[in-house]
Amino acid sequence: MRPAKTKASSGVKRSREAQFLHKPNCTTCRKAKKFMEGKGYQLYFRDLGKERLSAAELEKLIGERDHKEFLNTRNELYRKNKMKANPPSRKEAIRLMAKEPNLIRRPVILAGGRIVLGFDKNEMIKL
Protein backbone atom coordinates (compact mmCIF):
# COMPACT_ATOMS: atom_id res chain seq x y z
CA MET A 1 0.00 0.00 0.00
CA ARG A 2 1.31 3.43 -0.90
CA PRO A 3 1.52 6.20 1.70
CA ALA A 4 -1.06 8.96 1.52
CA LYS A 5 0.03 12.09 -0.31
CA THR A 6 0.83 14.95 2.06
CA LYS A 7 1.38 18.64 1.40
CA ALA A 8 5.11 18.19 1.95
CA SER A 9 5.31 15.49 -0.72
CA SER A 10 2.81 16.99 -3.19
CA GLY A 11 5.62 18.16 -5.48
CA VAL A 12 7.13 14.68 -5.68
CA LYS A 13 6.17 12.76 -8.79
CA ARG A 14 5.47 9.13 -7.96
CA SER A 15 5.81 6.35 -10.45
CA ARG A 16 2.53 5.01 -11.81
CA GLU A 17 2.24 1.34 -12.63
CA ALA A 18 0.86 -0.47 -15.66
CA GLN A 19 0.82 -3.98 -17.03
CA PHE A 20 2.22 -4.01 -20.55
CA LEU A 21 1.30 -7.02 -22.70
CA HIS A 22 3.42 -6.97 -25.84
CA LYS A 23 5.83 -8.62 -28.23
CA PRO A 24 9.31 -7.10 -27.90
CA ASN A 25 9.94 -7.00 -31.66
CA CYS A 26 6.68 -5.13 -32.37
CA THR A 27 7.43 -1.54 -33.45
CA THR A 28 4.08 -0.27 -32.14
CA CYS A 29 4.85 -1.87 -28.76
CA ARG A 30 8.30 -0.28 -28.63
CA LYS A 31 6.80 3.12 -29.45
CA ALA A 32 4.13 2.74 -26.73
CA LYS A 33 6.74 1.52 -24.21
CA LYS A 34 8.90 4.59 -24.81
CA PHE A 35 5.88 6.89 -24.48
CA MET A 36 4.63 5.28 -21.27
CA GLU A 37 8.07 5.26 -19.64
CA GLY A 38 8.45 8.91 -20.66
CA LYS A 39 5.25 9.63 -18.75
CA GLY A 40 6.76 8.08 -15.62
CA TYR A 41 5.07 4.68 -15.70
CA GLN A 42 6.66 1.62 -14.12
CA LEU A 43 5.80 -1.09 -16.64
CA TYR A 44 5.35 -4.76 -15.83
CA PHE A 45 5.91 -6.72 -19.03
CA ARG A 46 4.37 -9.88 -20.38
CA ASP A 47 5.75 -11.15 -23.68
CA LEU A 48 2.70 -12.55 -25.47
CA GLY A 49 4.91 -14.73 -27.65
CA LYS A 50 6.44 -16.50 -24.65
CA GLU A 51 3.57 -16.22 -22.15
CA ARG A 52 0.39 -16.58 -24.16
CA LEU A 53 -2.92 -15.49 -22.77
CA SER A 54 -5.29 -18.36 -22.07
CA ALA A 55 -8.88 -18.31 -23.30
CA ALA A 56 -9.97 -17.63 -19.70
CA GLU A 57 -7.55 -14.69 -19.40
CA LEU A 58 -8.75 -13.26 -22.70
CA GLU A 59 -12.37 -13.64 -21.62
CA LYS A 60 -11.64 -11.72 -18.42
CA LEU A 61 -9.55 -9.09 -20.22
CA ILE A 62 -12.19 -8.42 -22.87
CA GLY A 63 -14.99 -8.39 -20.31
CA GLU A 64 -18.05 -6.51 -21.63
CA ARG A 65 -16.08 -4.86 -24.46
CA ASP A 66 -16.49 -5.69 -28.12
CA HIS A 67 -14.12 -8.58 -28.83
CA LYS A 68 -13.47 -7.26 -32.35
CA GLU A 69 -11.51 -4.32 -30.87
CA PHE A 70 -8.92 -6.83 -29.63
CA LEU A 71 -8.26 -8.30 -33.08
CA ASN A 72 -5.09 -7.20 -34.85
CA THR A 73 -6.29 -6.07 -38.28
CA ARG A 74 -2.71 -6.16 -39.60
CA ASN A 75 -2.33 -9.87 -38.87
CA GLU A 76 -2.06 -12.29 -41.79
CA LEU A 77 -4.69 -14.64 -40.34
CA TYR A 78 -7.10 -11.70 -39.94
CA ARG A 79 -6.66 -10.73 -43.59
CA LYS A 80 -6.58 -14.29 -44.94
CA ASN A 81 -9.85 -15.15 -43.22
CA LYS A 82 -11.41 -11.81 -44.25
CA MET A 83 -12.36 -11.10 -40.64
CA LYS A 84 -13.20 -7.48 -41.37
CA ALA A 85 -16.09 -8.47 -43.61
CA ASN A 86 -16.85 -11.69 -41.73
CA PRO A 87 -15.83 -11.24 -38.06
CA PRO A 88 -15.58 -14.32 -35.86
CA SER A 89 -17.95 -14.85 -32.94
CA ARG A 90 -16.65 -13.85 -29.52
CA LYS A 91 -16.01 -17.49 -28.62
CA GLU A 92 -14.15 -18.17 -31.87
CA ALA A 93 -12.13 -14.94 -31.64
CA ILE A 94 -11.00 -15.82 -28.12
CA ARG A 95 -10.07 -19.33 -29.20
CA LEU A 96 -8.06 -17.97 -32.15
CA MET A 97 -6.29 -15.28 -30.07
CA ALA A 98 -5.32 -17.86 -27.42
CA LYS A 99 -3.90 -20.09 -30.15
CA GLU A 100 -2.29 -17.30 -32.22
CA PRO A 101 -1.12 -14.37 -30.04
CA ASN A 102 -0.18 -12.32 -33.11
CA LEU A 103 -3.92 -11.96 -33.68
CA ILE A 104 -4.16 -9.84 -30.49
CA ARG A 105 -3.93 -6.10 -31.05
CA ARG A 106 -0.77 -4.89 -29.29
CA PRO A 107 0.26 -3.61 -26.94
CA VAL A 108 -2.42 -4.17 -24.33
CA ILE A 109 -1.86 -1.69 -21.50
CA LEU A 110 -3.71 -2.11 -18.20
CA ALA A 111 -3.60 0.62 -15.56
CA GLY A 112 -6.04 2.01 -13.05
CA GLY A 113 -8.79 -0.37 -14.10
CA ARG A 114 -8.58 0.79 -17.73
CA ILE A 115 -7.32 -0.86 -20.91
CA VAL A 116 -5.62 0.74 -23.89
CA LEU A 117 -5.12 -1.22 -27.11
CA GLY A 118 -2.37 -0.35 -29.55
CA PHE A 119 -0.55 2.98 -29.63
CA ASP A 120 -3.36 5.35 -28.72
CA LYS A 121 -1.65 8.40 -27.27
CA ASN A 122 -4.90 10.11 -26.26
CA GLU A 123 -6.05 7.07 -24.29
CA MET A 124 -2.61 6.46 -22.76
CA ILE A 125 -2.59 10.04 -21.43
CA LYS A 126 -5.93 9.35 -19.68
CA LEU A 127 -4.58 6.35 -17.73
Instruction: Give me the pLDDT at residue 15, please.
Output: 63
Q: What is the mean pLDDT of residues 61-87?
A: 95
CA–CA dist 58, 95 (Å, integer): 9
Question: In a 10 Å sphere around its CB, with 0-12 CB exposed, 13-18 middle and 19+ buried, how is residue 93 labelled?
Answer: buried
Query: Is a pLDDT exceeding 70 seen at residue 8?
Result: no
Query: Is a pLDDT exceeding 90 seen at residue 37?
Result: yes
Instruction: Give me the pLDDT at residue 10, please.
Output: 42
Lowest mean pLDDT across 14-23, 24-33, 97-106: 14-23
Per the CB < 8 A criterion, the answer to whether 97 and 65 are in contact is no
Measured CA angle at 112 (ends 30, 70), to 5 deg: 55
Averaged pLDDT of the chain: 89
Band of pLDDT at residue 38, cut at 50, 70 and 90: very high
Instruction: Give me the pLDDT at residue 125, please.
Output: 92
Per the CB < 8 A criterion, the answer to whether 29 and 121 are in contact is no
The domain limits of the chain are 16-48+106-127, 53-103
pLDDT in tens, 44-56: 999 999 999 999 9
CA–CA dist 54, 51 (Å, integer): 9
User: Global pTM?
Assistant: 0.83
The CATH superfamily holding the domain 16-48+106-127 is Glutaredoxin (3.40.30.10)
Query: Is a pLDDT exceeding 60 seen at residue 12?
Result: no
